[in-house]
């Protein structure tokens, strides 16, 4: 299964992964009851994509609120990207935020710390 779509809810983000384009989008608030269960398929998809192809991977994030376990899942994902980036794989993160919610800018910046792959933070137009 190379397709991954998770419909968003009040407490979980909308997630869609496009294997052919090498792009994974996450959008919305993230405070699932069980982050391990929720992010498991996402992390699986990323691991399979990185193992089965050699194409670039781009993460497009439009996340607003995240609970602690979601923050941890996101750090795990960034660690995966960091590891393959060290081996020369083209990976990048584009994080868009609503200019009405400037706090997200500071948070995305905090996430970006320690990441050596391209990590852009931009205003959601």
Partner 1 sequence: MNAVDPDFLEKITSLLADPAYQSNPLCQPLADLLEYSEQQRLRLERVLRISDGYQHLARHDKHNLLLQYDRQVRRLEKLARISDRYQNSLREVSEALKEAALHDPLTHLGNRRFLMERLREESERATRQGLPYAVGILDVDHFKRVNDQFGHELGDEVLCKIAGAIEGALREYDLCGRWGGEEFLIILPDTTISFAVPVVERVLAEIRSIRIALPGQAFGGVTASIGITAYLSGESYAQSINRADAALLAAKAAGRNRIELAVAGEPLSCDDGAVRTSRK
Instruction: Give the interface with partner 1 as residue ranges (CB under 8 A).
Output: 65-68, 71-72, 75, 103, 106-107, 110-111, 113-114
Burial-class residue 59 by CB neighbours within 10 Å (0-12, 13-18, 19+): buried
Q: How far is the CB of 86 from partner 1 (least distance, A)?
A: 14
Q: Is residue 119 a contact partner of residue 95, using CB atoms and an 8 Å limit? A: yes
Closer residue to partner 1, CB minimum distance, 31 or 96: 31
Q: Is residue 8 a contact partner of residue 27, using CB atoms and an 8 Å limit? A: yes
Q: How far is the CB of 52 from partner 1 (least distance, A)?
A: 28
Closer residue to partner 1, CB minimum distance, 5 or 101: 101
Closer residue to partner 1, CB minimum distance, 46 or 73: 73
Q: How far is the CB of 88 from partner 1 (least distance, A)?
A: 22
Residue among 34, 25, 33 at smallest CA distance from 6: 25
Q: How far is the CB of 114 from partner 1 (least distance, A)?
A: 7
Closer residue to partner 1, CB minimum distance, 114 or 120: 114
Residue among 54, 120, 123, 53 at smallest CA distance from 89: 54
Pairwise CA distance, residues 65 & 70, whole Å: 9
């Amino acid at each position: 299964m190379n397709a991954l779509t998770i419909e968003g809810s009040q407490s979980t983000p909308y997630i869609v992964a496009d294997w052919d384009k090498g792009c994974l989008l996450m959008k919305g608030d993230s405070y699932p009851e069980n982050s391990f269960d929720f992010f498991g398929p996402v992390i699986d998809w990323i691991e399979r994509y990185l193992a089965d192809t050699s194409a670039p991977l781009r993460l497009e994030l439009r996340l607003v609120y995240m609970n602690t376990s979601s923050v941890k899942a996101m750090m795990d994902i960034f660690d995966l990207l960091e590891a393959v980036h060290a081996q020369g794989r083209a990976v990048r993160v584009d994080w868009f935020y609503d200019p009405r919610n400037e706090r997200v800018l500071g948070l995305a910046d905090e996430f970006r710390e320690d990441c050596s792959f391209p990590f852009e933070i931009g205003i959601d137009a």
